[in-house]
Amino acid sequence: MQMKKYWLIFFFGTFIFGCNNKKEEVEIPKNEETSIQTFPEPIFTLAEANKLIELPLHCVGTEYPYKPGETLESEEDLVEPITVHPVFYGCFDWHSAVHGYWSMVTLLKQFPEIDKAEEVRKLLKEKITADNVATEVAFFEKSINTSFERTYGWAWLLKLSEELHNWNDPIAKDLEQNLKPLADIIVLRYKEFLPKLKYPIRVGEHTNTAFGLAFAYDYAETVGDMELKELIENRAHDFYFTDENCPITWEPSGYDFLSPCLEEVDIMRRILSPEEFINWMNTFLPQLADENYHLKVGEVSDRTDGKLVHLDGLNFSRAWVFYGLSKQYPNYGHLENLANDHVAYSYPNLVGDGYEGGHWLGSFAIYALNVLHEK
């Protein structure tokens, strides 16, 4: 079996993470020069992929509980979610269903020999059909749904389309073509919305503008949509280029799964030249250049609370920003250890945990590891 080097097994020192979620107390070594704990790089194998695939496989077909996010125009809109969302009706809400499919595609792409490979392929072909996507498109085309899933769900839909585009598999081209009408309408929504947005949304949840821009920017680069790419570059520059001294010590808020400060870093590292970015960082978050910089992980007090468990997602999303920054700029290499710290805290609670986090957190963990090991 040959795998890309970035899929390794999730062991941290002598931690062994199993489905029973039991964690042994171990002493994590400290760097003698800085007294900062050293966290080994998270590693992942086929065995862990076989566990993680169970999360989206379970949730994408689970119709209830479900949290609809649409506005009702009349009593005719009082229908079951699967009626208007024949693809993305599971996983508690539309956006979680979208990145549930992304999780399945990316795991199958990295591990074609995964135990549930045929089941996943069958599901993808049964659900992502031209007819089903047409129904999803019809929902988005209604004027009352213009702001539906703006921009978090939009961003994940484009990330799913991007993953299909980059997947060298016989079924990927058909799936991408079937999904394309929905991706196209999401791109159109971005192009209509971004010029009208006067101020960025700086929160730690779904509507965070920087997160929505980063994923859409990746899609635009991948498929060669220069109009969308340039629009995002211009708007990100307008929104964030003059920002200074981001108050990261105020974070996190109680329900955050994104860091408002770090999501800005993630989009600006994409759009600025190296010289511009370093100068911007020296003004925006100068403390991150300090090799002794530490940011405490987001602590979850109750994983049965669907909002409080957001903080596990925060740890994964912080990690992917730190990984991306440390890989792109060697002078921020010390942040990889901080990212490892964040992953080490939240991953043991992922597999086998409650539906409140299990219906979406796997996607965040997988994406963090993708960023860590991407070329």
Task: Write out the DSSP string of 282-327.
Answer: HHH-GGGGSTT---PPPPPS-TTSTTTTHHHHHHHHHHHHHHHHHH
| Mean pLDDT of all residues belonging to the chain | 91
Is 213's pLDDT higher than 90?
Answer: yes
374 pLDDT tier (thresholds 50, 70, 90): confident
Q: Quick one: pLDDT at residue 327?
A: 96
Residue 88 has phi, psi (to 5 degrees) of: -105, 60
User: What pLDDT does 33 receive?
Assistant: 52
Tell me the average pLDDT across 322-334: 97
Distance (Å, whole) CA 2 – CA 349: 28
Give the integer Cα–Cα distance in Å for 363 and 103. Answer: 5
* pLDDT over 70, % of the chain: 90
Q: What is the pLDDT of residue 47?
A: 87
**Cis omega (within 30 of 0) on the bond before 348?**
no
> What is the mean predicted confidence (pLDDT) over 84-103?
98
Alpha-carbon distance of 294 to 283, in angstroms, equals 18
Query: What does the pLDDT average to over 350-368?
Result: 87
Query: For residue 204, what is the DSSP state?
Result: S
Q: If pLDDT is split at 50, 70 and 90, which confidence band does 35 have?
A: low
Listed range (37-46, 70-79, 89-98, 256-265) with the worst mean pLDDT: 37-46
pLDDT at 14 over 90: no
Statement: residue 232 has pLDDT above 60: yes
- Assess contact for 173 and 217: CB atoms under 8 A: no
CA distance 208 to 90: 23
Residue 354 has pLDDT above 90, yes or no: no
Q: Which 3 state secondary structure label does DSSP give 43? A: strand
pLDDT in tens, 243-278: 999 999 999 999 999 999 999 999 999 999 999 999
Residue 19: pLDDT band (50, 70, 90) is: very low
Would you say residue 163 has pLDDT above 50?
yes
Query: Could you tell me which residue, 189 or 348, shows the higher pLDDT?
Result: 189
Looking at the predicted structure, is the pLDDT value of residue 5 above 80? Answer: no
